Amino acid sequence: MRLFRKGIISSINEDRKIRVIHPLLDKEKQKKAKRYEGEKRNLGLIGLFLSLVVQISFYFSGLSSIIAHWKVFYSALWIFPIFIVIYFLLQDIIGLPVSYHSGFSLEHKYGFSRQTRKEWFIDHLKGFLLSIVLGIIVFGTLFILFERFPTIWWLIAGGVMAFFSVILSTIFPVLIMPIFHHYDPIEDEDLKNNLSDILKEAGIRIEGFYREDTSKKTTKENAMLAGMGKTKRVILTDNIIEQMDSSEIRVILGHEIGHYKKKHMMKFIFIGVCLQIFAFFLLNKIMIILFPGFLAGFLENLILLPIMLFYLELINLFLLKMLQNWISRVFEREADGEALKLTKDSEGFKRAMAGLANRNLSNAYPSLWVKLFYYNHPPIEERLTMAENWKG
């Protein structure tokens, strides 16, 4: 009863906040943002539930064992990728209605998506095939560690995941992103010169400035400092170039530079390794206690793969997710601070943040539990308040 009363009071307080929203925010857009966020969140929960059901059913129905015992050229080298493909395919088929409603119908309902059904399904198929390739590589590596280091596989696996993270960060803007979008060098010399100033001040050398053709698929805006080493580049979506003036884009890039200056990517990788080792350690203990066949051999591990993923999902959901979100919000606040230091433009910062909230339907005033579970960035209201309190 006390929790119910507390929930009502929290809801009333949230409504009061909405009535006195920041003057740069559109009140009607904020109401719409709350509806959009709620529908998106509910679909995500349904998708998660279906994924967990598939994992449990795949194992306890005996399907996992049947597929693992197939005689395909009498070689584990063949049965492993076949198992992965069937598992991913089943997950995708069961979750397809939710993915379609969340990624296509809902985005059209709120005026974001510009894709046709055919274009959406082609992108979905690309993502599915990419997930299979990455799944075979990642799970294959884990199975090698199971066999060669059965007592400390969980410790070594954390370091291996860090290696994969660095490789993916390096090749992502060069090999993976072009699968879904087209990139052209930015021709606007004034814009490039304006952005080059803060890059030079921060001591960052990039390979170039690129424009992403996002407007063909969505109205949403984004910008990033992508890649590592020689693949580092500034990527601006055509939507953000169209919607923001150069001072606002400068602030957004300043935020991305802030991540670089604070070495957030390397910190994320280190923290991710620690959390991944912890998750694998717990998974190892759970599997050994509940399933004596775990680590007994390749066949036994393959049969248990769906249930391993089930427990790994629960560990992440109930033990790691809020911590990861909190760390991310801390880093994002630091990057915001660096953006203000670099640009010395709190007004441009506020216009950029409020504009993104209004156009992308970002809920600036989420409830506490939504913020803790779902927000890896500070809510827009907090970022606007920080800019107003910035003393330069």
The domains located in the chain, with CATH, are 25-182+260-389 (no CATH), 183-259 (3.30.2010.10)
CA distance 232 to 259: 13
The residues near 309 (Cβ < 8 Å, ≥ 6 apart) are: 55
The residues near 249 (Cβ < 8 Å, ≥ 6 apart) are: 191, 194, 195, 223, 236, 240, 241, 352
**Main-chain dihedrals φ then ψ at residue 339, nearest 5 degrees:** -60, -40
CA distance 267 to 251: 23
Question: What angle do the packed helices 321-343 and 189-202 form, to 10 degrees?
Answer: 110
- Contact (Cβ atoms closer than 8 angstroms) between residue 225 and residue 252: no
What is the number of alpha carbons within 13 Å of residue 214 lying toward its C-beta?
A: 20
The reported pLDDT for the residue numbered 177 is 84
**What stretches of 130-232 adopt beta strand conformation (E)?**
183-185, 209-212, 223-226
Average pLDDT, 10 consecutive residues per value, the chain (392 residues)? 42 51 93 96 97 96 93 76 96 97 96 95 95 93 94 91 78 80 90 89 87 92 82 89 93 92 89 92 96 93 96 94 95 95 94 95 95 95 94 70
Q: In angstroms, what CA-CA distances link 84 with 51, 78, 302, 313?
A: 15, 10, 9, 17
Structure tokens at 289: 């206690």
pTM of structure: 0.87
